[in-house]
Structure 1
Amino acid sequence: MNANPRGIPQAPFVDNVDEYMKTDAVDATIRKFTEAASKYKFMENSKLQQRGSLEQKIPEIEKTLSMVNYLAEQRGADEPIKTLFEINDTLYAHAAIPPTETVNLWLGANVMLEYSLDEAQDLLAGKLAIAKGNLKETIEDLEFLRDQITTMEVNTARVYNWDVKQRRLEKGVSG
């Protein structure tokens, strides 16, 4: 069975329903297709959450990298940098930041580490590249999953319609 680069299996398309239905019962086939579509929808929901998380994380990384780049530009300055420091979403305080060679970065899980400006730039640029790559892959996966869901729904409809047609033919022959 084919799969996308991240291992999500490709849904089989039932081209010839008459041939396909020679190997399985209608109810079992419809159940199997519905179950597969449900699995794809579950994966889609997971990928949508991942996409939302990445879409929040990328601007934060960009904002932090921008600030580190600015601090690196101001390295040799004599005057402190005057700025508004964000305390909360809507609360800011005035701050004077002396020229510095280091920054402290939150790594997550209540962990903060001190880095030189160059190390911080490298770390943040790497994290940004990874996050953007992950977002691109997640969007590709979502498109792939939508196609697979559609394929399984079409398969289900084709088998159901085939079954209706077969029942009508049987009634016409026996009636």
Structure 2
Amino acid sequence: METNPRGIPKAPFLEDIGDYTSKNESVEITLKKFTEALNKYKFMEINSLQRRKGLEDKIPEIENTLKMIKHIMKKNEEEEPIETLFEVHDTLYANAKIGKPKSVNLWLGANVMLEYSLEEAEKLLQSKLVSANLSLKNVNEDLDFLRDQITTMEVNIARTYNWDVKQRRNAKKLEE
């Protein structure tokens, strides 16, 4: 069976529905199989849309964190203290001067924070950004592929149903 690079199967397009149903199974079973396949493609589409949303939220965060790391590195070279507003609580801020920081703490997720040197943090964030952008590209490709497969399955279902209606009409005419 043909698949896309991430293993999503390609939907078959039926040229001759009569031939397919006579060789394989009844129209009802064929329609049931096609509907199941359509539902699976729609489920994959929903999961891919959620994944894309997560990546679209995550990428700007990574970019902003990377910009901040570069800003800190630049200020360290200039040997100027970094002046900032430090959030103490939701609406409470304090002025702060930061000397020459040698490391930063990064949230990795699942309530895990690790300390990295500025260079390690920059390298880690660069690799995370490349990985997230690649994942977003793959998810977008998968969504395009899934939309094509959903359309193909919808067409197969409609054509099978219409073929069955035509066969029943012909059978009814022959009876009369």
TM over 0.5: yes
Q: Shift in Å at residue 10 of structure 1? A: 0.4
- Where 1:75 maps in the other structure, the secondary structure is helix
Paired letter, 2:82 = I
2:141 counterpart residue number: 140
Q: Shift in Å at residue 101 of structure 1? A: 1.8
Change (3 A) 1:119 1:141: same
Change (3 A) 1:126 1:168: same
Q: TM-score, normalised by structure 1?
A: 0.94
Change (3 A) 1:134 1:87: farther
2:12 counterpart residue number: 12
Alignment of 1:1-175 (within 5 A): 1-23=1-23, 24-86=25-87, 92-175=93-176
- Percentage of matched positions with identical amino acids: 59
Contact 1:103 1:117 in 2 (8 A): yes
Contact 1:58 1:131 in 2 (8 A): yes
- The farther-off stretch of 34-43 and 83-92 is 83-92
Distance across 1 between alignment mates of 2:145 and 2:5: 10
Q: Shift in Å at residue 91 of structure 1? A: 5.9
Q: TM-score, normalised by structure 2?
A: 0.93
Contact 1:33 1:152 in 2 (8 A): yes
Structure 1 unaligned spans of 5+: none
RMSD: 1.6
| Matched pairs, number | 175
Structure 2 unaligned spans of 5+: none
- The farther-off stretch of 86-95 and 44-53 is 86-95
